[in-house]
Homo-oligomer: A and B are copies of this chain.
Amino acid sequence: MTARKGRSVTEPRAHVETAPPEAVRQGSADPGPAGERPRPGRAARPEPRRETKGDRTRARILDSATELFSRSGFHAVSLRDIAAHAGLTHAGLLHHFPGKESLLIQVLARRDEVDGRLMAGPDARATPEELLDRAVAQVARNMRSPGLVALYVKISGEAADPEHPAHDYFVHRYRRLRRDATWLLGELFRRADPPVPHDPAVAARELIALVDGLQTQWLLEPEEVDMREVVLAFLAQLGVHPANPGFATPDRTPPGAP
């Protein structure tokens, strides 16, 4: 509802054009992208570009944004809040990121990249049971990373508003989750003895919804909800079993200590 007139937020900042933060960030541990130039006299062997002060600052900003968005959502957090938390001014922050919305998108993209996904699609290196294991382990890990839980809980609710900057991100995220979970549960149902007579598409929606809903409750009262226990109970009711549920031992940390 706070529609700012005048300046378009889609205009790139001219002085970041040559090294967009996205590209730098993605390639920080890899050969540099467009900025890399072979040394004279050497074969064109790419060299790791050294991490710059700007890289470190951008990482700090993303950390701060992640933490504050996780705590209070997108709209209740200002650029000045994030900048102060990261140890610079809000104008300095805007040197690195073109605007608040793209900062959020990068926080989300980074989160996906760093923490993996709740649900994995076909993987030749793991059985479906092992993949289920990983999903359960991720749930348990979430209980040790309240920040991750809070970020998705906070932003996914807001993002149901079609005008929210992360709306499309979440629409696609849920599509992917449903697709992957449907495949995984379909495999597990078929391999069970006797085969499980449930519709994997419906069960996938159940599982995703269950995990999401548990996270909301857990954030409000962590001592009242053992997410792993509930997810394992649900899977048992479905008639599917992780390969090694013992691995997914929780080490519960209360929220507020991200």
Q: Give the interface of A toward B (CB within 8 A).
A: 1-2, 68, 71-73, 75-78, 81, 150, 153-164, 167, 170-171, 174-175, 178, 198-199, 202-203, 205-206, 208-214, 216-217, 219-221, 224-225, 229-230, 233-234, 237-238, 255-256
Specify which of B2, B202, B255 is in contact with A76 (CB 8 Å cutoff): B2
| A199: nearest chain-B partner, CB-CB | B233
Number of copies of this kind of chain in the complex: 2
B73 and A157: CB pair below 8 A? Answer: yes
Q: Which residue of B lies closest to A73 (CB)?
A: B158
**Pair B230/A205 contact, Cβ less than 8 Å:** yes
Judged by DSSP, the binding face of A is helix
Asked if B206 contacts A209 (CB within 8 A), the reply is no
Q: From the candidates B154, B164, B217, name the one contacting A205 in the complex (CB within 8 A).
A: B217
Chain B residues positioned under 8 Å from A212 (CB to CB)? 209, 212-213, 216-217
Q: Which residues of B contact A160 (CB under 8 A)?
A: 150, 153-154, 216, 219-220, 255
Distance (whole angstroms) from the CB of A130 to the closest CB of chain B: 23
Out of B155, B157, B209, B229, which one reaches A202, CB within 8 Å? B229
Contact of A153 among B2, B71, B157, B225 (CB under 8 A): B157
**A77 cross-chain contacts in B, Cβ below 8 A:** 1
Partner of A161, one of B76, B167, B225: B76
Verify A220–B170 contact, CB threshold 8 A. yes
> Can you list 25 A-B contacts with CB-CB less than 8 angstroms, sorted by A residue number?
A1-B76, A1-B77, A1-B78, A72-B161, A73-B157, A153-B157, A154-B157, A156-B216, A156-B220, A157-B216, A158-B158, A159-B220, A160-B216, A160-B255, A162-B256, A167-B220, A174-B217, A175-B224, A178-B224, A202-B229, A202-B230, A202-B233, A209-B211, A209-B216, A212-B216
